[in-house]
Amino acid sequence: MEFYGCRMFRFFIAVVLIACSLAATIPDATETEEFKQWSGRIVGGQDAAIGQFPYQASMRSAANAHFCGGSIINRRWVVCAAHCTINRLVANTVIVVGAHNRITGGITHQSERIANHPQYNSATTVNDVSLVRSATDIIESDVVGFIDIEPAHINHHFPSFTSGWGQTSHPGSAATVLQWLTVEVIPNDECRSRLSTANAARIADSVICVSSANGQGLCFGDSGGPLTVNGRLVGAVSWGVPCGTAAPDMYGRLSAVHDWLLSVIDI
């Protein structure tokens, strides 16, 4: 169902500065904004009900520290963001499902494989999608479920939902209870027009943009988490301009990497 719904979501906070060579050419102060890849956060969201987003996963370290969100697509695979999982070891990556509270509860599955999109580029953020395979079957229940990936390319105004355990204010701490927010997919051209010159250049076809009310949006700790349209998964939280401003938030577009996703899952 839609209300249930690939740093980091603790989203291990990764801050990527715009290259100095670009910044030096930008005359307007609004053009010097940093882009930041979300470790996880939803500013201005509301508490989710237990089981409202059964496909939501919490990606954690072996020490149980939340670093990103994810979306369960079948009994073995979770979609995440490549910036969450690049250079991570499977021994230090676990998948927690069925969690409502970031600190307690949920069922833990050890990962056995991490697949980052082979054309992921951390500088440009293109193809910011990854897959994490559980070593054991993820069992469906009242609070655990799978979500289908939407193969169609959505590039127009469309209501959508996002969820995560990121910061609920900026500055602030990560949410304890899962948060969710209604947002709107917007065309990439419109997205570029609302960003600085440097950030607009990062809006490739593999990016899907969403807009939300000023004072709402993603923040540190939400990375990797789901964007859904009509109950299907269309994106994984990637980056944005901190935090809860009127600027769009950016997700890895799953339709752009759909063939790659299927090729990995079918192996």
Q: Is 83 a catalytic residue?
A: yes
At residue 29, the 3 state secondary structure works out as helix
User: Active site includes 223?
Assistant: yes
Peptide bond into 54 cis (omega under 30): no
**Could you say which DSSP state residue 243 is in?**
T
Residue 20 CB partners (closer than 8 Å, separation 6+): none
User: Cβ distance 151 to 252 under 8 Å?
Assistant: no
- Please name the helix (run of DSSP H) or strand (run of DSSP E) that holds residue 184, with its range, or none: strand 179-186
Asked if 69 contacts 163 with a C-beta cutoff of 8 angstroms, the reply is yes
Catalytic residue among 128, 130, 160, 238: 128
Residue 109 structure tokens? 């599955």
**Of 58, 66, 71, 83, catalytic:** 83
Is position 128 annotated as part of the catalytic site? Answer: yes
Q: What tokens were used for 123?
A: 């500088």
How many other C-beta atoms are found inside a 10 Å radius of the C-beta of residue 215? Answer: 11
Contacting residues for 202 by C-beta, under 8 A, at least 6 apart: 35, 124, 125, 126, 239, 250
**Cα angle, residue 78 at apex, residues 231 and 236 outer, rounded to 5°:** 60
Name the active-site residue from 71, 163, 212, 223: 223
Give the catalytic positions in this structure.
Answer: 83, 128, 223
